[in-house]
Structure 1
Amino acid sequence: MGFSSFCSVPLPCFASLSPFPSCIENGNVKYMAPVSSDNTLVLTLKRFSRRLILQFVGLSHICNTRSILAAPIMPEMKEPEVLRTFKLDSGVRIQDIVEGEGPEARGGDLVEFNYVCRRANGYFVYSTVDQFSGESKPVILPLDENQMIEGLKEVLTGMRVGGKRRALVPPSVGYVSENLKPVPEEFGPRRSLFSHAKEPLVFEVQLLKILSLPSSSVF
């Protein structure tokens, strides 16, 4: 999967089987679905009673009509403008979305940030920002590969406060140990995270603050 497409994974389209002009031959129903101006795809359903077929056809008409009438008009989702794209030696691929104007994070700094984690196929894993209320529970961690997964440390290092990045983190610099953070507190997201720890993960991060070093790391 190329970097240009890893954040734009198409969602599966579950098209309904709408009845096209059909005919019944020897107890089988054939639906005629136009493929092009010259070709027609014939779908044959076998081993169904005539009564069940008629019920199915009528139900599909109702479902299709209701779905059309009830379908809301969704606003067009636009991909954020990417300032730059680069790849690190570790295999981490990064997109800069917002540059940021504050100080730059360095290794060993204690940082506060929000993040969204998804699997590489687009499936949601966890976010520190509630998608309904907008409330956030930022994470505070030192930029230290012994406490934070190495790939995320590399993503945050060099970011400026207020900056946003999106990155594909390979498993080799991901959750190689369950002691590494960030890890959701909730059981469901935590289980989902570790069950897919051997897959690449997509992180979207926003650096909020650079804090002083924790006292335990001094001396």
Structure 2
Amino acid sequence: MLMSTFRFVVLAGLIALSIGCSSSPTGPSNDAPFSQTDLRVGTGAVAAAGQTLTVNYTGWFYDASKPDQKGVSFDSTVGKSPFTFTLGAQQVIKGWDQGLPGMQVGGLRRLVIPPSLAYGSTRSGSIPANSTLLFEIELLDAQ
């Protein structure tokens, strides 16, 4: 009887420990479909595939429990050097290549990007595998 109680306590402890050690900082129920929302519509040139874009951005882990869905921030260029890349050239995650065409310079766009359009089942730096990400991206230039 004592051995059965001991096994039960050990098993319960291991279950509690495994629940508390989730590899995702946003939790398991934070999957969301891809979405794009213009927070501010720009008035400049329109972004298109093949153009060199210059942006400022902040990225957060998507957190469905927050009113603005912004979990922990994992990266930002705000207050630093802007980021430059070629749209549609697979230099960024698929969610950016899919979510930025049509945006105008001066605009601010919010992208919610599921793992399938981000890093998928692969960890990337501080971003765990299977993470849904949220970005706010300001388009500074499109050439």
Output the TM-score relative to the length of structure 2.
Answer: 0.66
Q: Which residues of 2 match residues 39-78 of structure 1 at below 5 A?
A: none
Question: d(CA) in 2 for partners of 1:197 and 1:138?
Answer: 26
Q: 1:156 to 1:165 in 2, by over 3 A?
A: same
Percent of aligned pairs sharing the same letter: 35
Question: d(CA) in 2 for partners of 1:171 and 1:145?
Answer: 19
Match of 1:113 in 2: 55
Q: 1:159 aligns with which of 77, 90, 103?
A: 103
Q: 1:192 to 1:142 in 2, by over 3 A?
A: same
Question: d(CA) in 2 for partners of 1:138 and 1:99?
Answer: 19
Deviations 1:16-67 (A, max 9, x none): xxxxxxxxxxxxxxxxxxxxxxxxxxxxxxxxxxxxxxxxxxxxxxxxxxxx
Match of 2:18 in 1: none
Question: d(CA) in 1 for partners of 2:89 and 2:114?
Answer: 15
Q: 1:171 to 1:210 in 2, by over 3 A?
A: same
Q: Is the 8 A contact 2:50 2:89 kept in 1?
A: no
Match of 2:88 in 1: 144
1:205 partner letter: I
2:106 partner letter: G
Match of 1:101 in 2: 43
Runs of 4+ in 1 over 4 A off after TM superposition: none
Question: d(CA) in 2 for partners of 1:138 and 1:201?
Answer: 19
Match of 2:77 in 1: 128
Cα distance, 1:160 vs structure 2: 0.1
Q: More relative contact order in 1 or in 2 (CA 8 Å, sep 6+)?
A: 2
Cα distance, 1:143 vs structure 2: 0.7
C-alpha root-mean-square deviation of aligned residues, in Å?
A: 1.8
> How many pairs were matched up?
103
Match of 1:191 in 2: 125
Q: 1:108 to 1:198 in 2, by over 3 A?
A: same
Unaligned runs of 5+ in 1: 1-90, 130-134, 179-189, 212-219
2:109 partner letter: R
Q: 1:158 to 1:198 in 2, by over 3 A?
A: same
Output the TM-score relative to the length of structure 1.
Answer: 0.44
Q: 1:208 aligns with which of 126, 140, 143?
A: 140
SS at match of 1:136: coil
Question: d(CA) in 2 for partners of 1:201 and 1:145?
Answer: 20
1:139 partner letter: F
